[in-house]
Amino acid sequence: MTKVKFVLLNTTDNVLVSCQTTKIGESVMVDGKYCEMMTPINVGHKIARKPIIKGDKIIKYGVPIGSAITNIAIGEHVHLHNMKSDYISSHTRQSQAGE
Amino acid sequence: MEGFLRADGRKGIRNAVVVVYLVECAHHVARNIVANINHDSVQLIGFPGCYPNDYSLQMMEKLCTHPNVGGVVLVSLGCEGFNREKLAQTILDSGRPIETVVIQNSGGTKKTIALGIEKVTTILTNIADVERAVLTTSDLVIGTICGGSDGTSGISANPAVGACFDILINDGATCIFEETGELIGCEHIMADRAESLELGQALITCVEKAEQYYTKMGYGSFAPGNAEGGLTTQEEKSMGAYAKSGSSDINGIIKPGDIPQKKGLFLMDVVPDGEPKFGFPNISDNAEIVEMIASGALMTLFTTGRGSVVGSAISPVIKICANPETYQNLIEDMDINAGSIIEGKNTVSEVGQEIFDCIINVASGSKSKSEALGHNEFILTYKTFDAIGPSCLR
C-alpha cells in the first residue's frame, strides 16, 4: 500500500515536503518513481523531487528558497548539509551551515 | 448573491448595529445594552484608553462606516479623551443612523443602559429595509491572517489560502495579506511580484522597517528549532507565511484603515512608524483581524495549526485548519480541513477551491463556524502611523 507521505506545494518545485515520518530504507514514490530513503525523513523536511545540480536554486512554493551546495539525487534529503540560503546564513545551535 | 448597498457604493454582507464604548469606563454599560438586546446583529466593540490617539480615532471611523455596519450607538462616559463628536459626524456623513449616549448626562448606569436599548431597537427597525444590490465576487474584500501556527501551517492551510486568493483575484476581488514581520527574507521575492519598480522598492522598505522594529523589541528571526522542523533558510521560513498571498501580482501597500482604491492584491503594513512606542505591533490575533476589517475586509481567512477558535465583530472569520489532528479535535470550530493535504486526500488547489466556495456561502448569508458559535471578539489598542506614501496606494 502506498500512502502519500510527501506533498508537492507548487508544480514548479524541485522539492517535496514530508507529511509523515519516513524510515530509513523505506521505498517512496517520487514523481512516478520509487526511491529508497537513505536517511529518515521527519515531518516538515524536504526531499529532492528531481536530480539537482550544485548551484541550482532550490524551488519550494514556486520560488527559490536557497541554492544547492552539492549535487543532490532524486529522493535525497534536502537540508543544511546540501543547500544554503541566498539571503542570510542559517545557524543551528552547534554551527553555521552553508558557506 | 445580494449585499447591503451603502451610500459610498460599497456593499456589505452583514447589516450589523455596533454598540461602541469609547473608554473602558463605558464598557459595562455598552456590554449590558448588547446583552439585553441579545440579537445576532448587535455587536459590542470599543476602545479602552482615555488618552486621545489619531490611529484609534481613524480606526473607529473606518470600522463604524464599514459596509457590514448598518448603524451605530456610541457609549461615552462623558469626560474621556476620545473625540466622540468627530466620530459621530463621520458616521452621520456616511448616511448611517447614529446615536450617542453619555453616561454622565443620562443619570448613570441603569438609565443609560435603558436609553441605549431604546436607541439600538429604533436603529434595528430603521435599517431592516436598507437597500440591497447584486453582489459579485469583484465586490469582495478578503483579508487573511494566521495564528496558532505549527509545522503544518506553511505546507497546507497557508498555500491553500494562496490558491484561493489566486481564484479571487482572477475574478476581480480585492485581497489583503499582512504580517510584515514574518516576511523577512522574502522581500526580494515579493518585490518581483510588484506591479511597478517603485512599489517593489516600497515593499522592501516595508519589510526592513519590520525587521528593525522587531529587533528593537527583542525578537529573533531564524531559530535553531526551525531547522529541526525541516526549515533550512530564512527565506523558506518566511515563505510559509507568505504563501497565503498566492502568486498574483501585488498591486499596492496599505496601512491599517486605508481602503484599497482599486482591485487586486495588497500588503498591509501593520508595523507602526517611528521608534517603538506602544509595545508590540499587534498584541493578539484579533488586533490583526480588526485592522483587516478597518481596511474594508468583508471576511477574514484565518489559518491555524494548533487551533484558534476566535471570530470577530463586524466581519465573519473563516477558520482554515492546517493540521488534520487539530481538525478532528476542534471540528466544531473549523470551517475547512486543509489537513486533508497533509493526509494526501486533497491537493493544495482543491482546498483553495473549497475555501473559495465557503467564502461565497458566507457572503450569501451562511454563518461561518465561529460566527454561529457567537464569537464576536474585538480588540483595539494604541499605535502610531505616518500616512502611506504615494507610490503605494495607487
- Grid cell listed for B173: 476581488
| Residue B148 pLDDT | 79
| Residue B122 pLDDT | 98
Residues of A in contact with B343 (CB under 8 A): 4, 19
Which residues in A11-62 belong to E strands, given as ranges?
15-18, 27-30, 33-36, 46-48, 57-60
Residue B218 main-chain phi, psi, to 5 deg: 85, 25
In the chain, the amino acid numbered B157 is A
Q: Which helix (H) or strand (E) holds B75?
A: strand B69-76
Query: pLDDT of A76-93, one tens digit each?
Result: 999 999 999 887 655 554
Taking residues B97-108, report their average pLDDT: 98
In the chain, the amino acid numbered A82 is N
Taking residues B207-223, report their average pLDDT: 76
Between A66, A92, A97, which is nearest B236 by CB? Answer: A66
pTM for the whole structure: 0.90
Contact status of B349 with chain A (Cβ, < 8 Å)? no
Query: pLDDT of B319-329, one tens digit each?
Result: 999 999 899 99
Residues of A engaging B, defined by a Cβ cutoff of 8 Å: 3-5, 7, 9-10, 17-19, 42-46, 58, 60-66, 78-80, 83-88, 90-93, 97
| Residue B216 pLDDT | 80
In which band, very low, low, confident or very high, does the pLDDT at A3 lie, cut at 50, 70 and 90?
low
Res. A1: pLDDT tops 50: no
Is B341 or B221 the better-scoring residue by pLDDT? B341
Res. B243: pLDDT tops 50: yes
For residues A44 and A22, what is the distance between their CA atoms, to the nearest angstrom?
A: 11
B230 and A18 within 8 Å at the Cβ level: the answer is yes
In terms of Cα–Cα distance, which of A68, A49, A48, A47 is closest to A57?
A68
Choose from B144-153, B198-207, B385-394 the range with maximum mean pLDDT. Answer: B198-207
In which band, very low, low, confident or very high, does the pLDDT at B191 lie, cut at 50, 70 and 90?
very high
Asked whether the beta carbons of A36 and A27 are under 8 A apart, the reply is yes
Query: pLDDT of B2-39, one tens digit each?
Result: 999 999 999 999 999 999 999 999 999 999 999 999 99
| Residue A95 pLDDT | 45
| Residue B281 pLDDT | 79
- B346 sits in the region (left: phi over 0; alpha: psi -120 to 50; else beta) called beta
Asked whether the beta carbons of B43 and B63 are under 8 A apart, the reply is no
- Grid cell listed for B329: 479535535
Query: What is the percent of chain B where pLDDT is above 70?
Result: 97
| Residue A5 pLDDT | 84
| Residue B240 pLDDT | 86
Mutate to test the interface with B, among A9, A20, A59, A95 (most CBs of B within 10 A): A9
Query: pLDDT of B246-295, one tens digit each?
Result: 999 999 999 999 999 999 999 999 989 888 888 777 888 999 999 999 99
Asked whether the beta carbons of A34 and A27 are under 8 A apart, the reply is yes
Q: How many Cα neighbours within 13 Å face the side chain of B272?
A: 19
Res. B340: pLDDT tops 50: yes
User: What domains can you pick out in chain B, each with its CATH number?
Assistant: 2-133 (3.40.50.2300), 137-393 (no CATH)
Nearest CA in chain B to A68: B232
Between A9, A64, A90, which is nearest B348 by CB? Answer: A9
Look at A34-43, B1-10, B211-220, B357-366 and tell me which has the smallest mean pLDDT: B211-220
Res. A98: pLDDT tops 50: no
Taking residues B50-60, report their average pLDDT: 94
Taking residues B238-249, report their average pLDDT: 91
Tell me, what's the ipTM? 0.86
How, if at all, do strands B132-134 and B141-146 pair? unpaired
| Residue B139 pLDDT | 97
Between A44, A65, A91, which is nearest B151 by CB? Answer: A44
Question: For chain B, what is the mean pLDDT?
Answer: 93
For residues B90 and B64, what is the distance between their CA atoms, to the nearest angstrom?
A: 9
Domain A6-84: give its CATH code.
2.30.130.110
Query: What is the percent of chain B where pLDDT is above 90?
Result: 76
| Residue B394 pLDDT | 53
Domain ranges of chain A: 6-84
Between B189, B222, B232, which is nearest A79 by CB? Answer: B232
Query: pLDDT of B147-156, one tens digit each?
Result: 877 778 888 9
Q: How far is CA B289 from CA A93, B268, B295, B296, in A?
A: 35, 12, 10, 11
Res. B221: pLDDT tops 60: no
